[in-house]
Amino acid sequence: MYLGIDLGTSEIKIVIIDDTGRLVAAEGEPLTVQRPHPQWSEQDPAQWWSATNLAIGRLRARHSDLWSRIRSIGLSGQMHGAVLLDEHDRVLRPAILWNDTRSAAECTLLTRLAPELHAVAGNLAMPGFTAPKLLWVAEHEPAVFAAVRTVLLPKDYLRLLMSGEKVSDMSDAAGTLWLDVAKRDWSDSILAACGLTRDNMPSLVEGSAPSACLKADVARAWGLSEQVVIAGGGGDNAASAVGIGAVNSGDAFISLGTSGVIFAVNDTFRPNPQSAVHAFCHALPGRWHQMSVMLTAASALRWLCQILGTHETALLEEVAALSLEEQSRAPIFLPYLSGERTPHNDPVASGSFHGLTHSTERAALAYAVLEGVAFGLDDGLDVMKQAGSHISQFSLIGGGARSPWWAQLIADVVKIPVVTHRDGAAGGALGAARLGWLAVGGNEAEVCRKPEVHARFEADAGRAGQLESRLKRYRLFYQQQVEARRLLP
């Protein structure tokens, strides 16, 4: 048995798979995000550890017959977060998360201080990445910065508490902007531009390699052997790719979670930062990937449900009952509730509905949200094509993959077939468990099999004209928002 732990933004998810690759058990524990100021997004790392222990405890109690057979643990997690530790490994401040956009000015500074950034890191400096966050701390919290001895990514902080070791993997480290992505090693010059050295960084391993074993006290508390191996693991999207078998050049998926991601595997490093496409290491050796990221996806639907006081399932049923004529009259929604990355690199972009009337009902609002996310994915796909990605089919994963109606809409918008898989919502946790299996000798071809297709969605040519017209308006409304901001004092 192999355990996978995924530290998401809204939930800790833990799964167990067996040596046939079957998902046999799963548990989750919710997390909360703190937003003390506009553009801020933070979490207390102590919450991650508490949630992990609660979920482990329930999993152990409900599946005691499996527990003694666990041989390894894989880790997956939200990328880019900054966990700052002092010389005694104490957390100095709340972790600054991937969707925190306060460090826009520091992105400009980093680009000036490290002119080699785009070529070496393969990405534009964006507020979501880790490096600008440290420049912000240096400027606004100098006492905290002076006390920093180690910077860890979120899942790697869990590893530290589990094992006592400071280790990261290539895919997650690539999202810091401190990694030389082609060489798969820390860049001394970019670290120096942020007032850091590799002594402040964890050591690096491939995601499928062993990184540590459980500490004795954690092993006792969890009822596991001290010989349980912890794999290097991966950033959430790279781990999700492993989970659905996207491990070879040309494989691709869309993830509908808090954020929306298009992920395409490459056998070489193909940076194209000018279009805000990300180029990162994969969680497996000798592979890279391109990625477009929209900061708000399924979380936009959750946001709307909270406002309307309803549940996603009920709202999706109402959307599915809309006629094409009713869809054509729905508002246009810009899903930029946390700013946007690909393709706009616009941390102050904002969400909005366009075309509201007295007759607008909540089903139309929900349709607009689902459509707006699909349009945002299409924007990202356009620039990935320009960056050299060739995609013939998408797997759809994440919480949003549970909605066949949304899957069909995405296929209609991007004009590429979309398939869903059994256990597709398991995402990074499933991939983490597979990486754990690889770390104790699993064969890649066996471990990373593509899961059985649950459903296939072909683009409906009959909707193309209506959607293309609405997509043009969607893009126009964003440009109008940019123009309107220029009028602000």
3-state percent helix, strand, coil for the chain, nearest multiple of 5: 45, 20, 35
d(CA 323, CA 448): 41
Extract the runs of DSSP E, i.e. beta strands, from 222-377.
229-231, 234-235, 252-256, 260-266, 278-281, 288-294, 332-334, 352-354
CA Rg value for the chain: 22
> Are the C-beta atoms of 370 and 330 separated by less than 8 Å?
no
Spatial neighbors of 183 by CB under 8 A, at least 6 apart, are none
Known binding residues for substrate: 79-80
Strand, helix or coil at 221? helix
Spatial neighbors of 187 by CB under 8 A, at least 6 apart, are 116, 120, 121, 178, 179, 180
d(CA 105, CA 98): 16
d(CA 124, CA 344): 11
Strand, helix or coil at 347? coil
Extract the runs of DSSP E, i.e. beta strands, from 319-364.
332-334, 352-354
Tokens 């477009």: give the residue: 292
Known binding residues: 79-80
In eight-state DSSP terms, residue 231 is E
> Are the C-beta atoms of 382 and 415 separated by less than 8 Å?
no
DSSP H helices, 122-153, are 130-140, 142-147
- Amino acid at the residue 430: L
d(CA 82, CA 178): 12
Determine which one of 236, 346, 378, 379 is catalytic: 236
Of 365, 329, 341, the closest CA to residue 473 belongs to: 329
**Sheet holding 453-457: strands in order across?**
278-281, 288-294, 260-266, 252-256, 394-397, 418-421, 453-457
- Amino acid at the residue 480: Q
> Are the C-beta atoms of 242 and 231 separated by less than 8 Å?
no
> Are the C-beta atoms of 119 and 272 separated by less than 8 Å?
no
β-pairing verdict for 42-43 and 418-421:
unpaired
d(CA 194, CA 197): 9
d(CA 282, CA 329): 42
236 as an active site residue: the answer is yes
Instruction: Provide the annotated active-site residues.
Output: 236
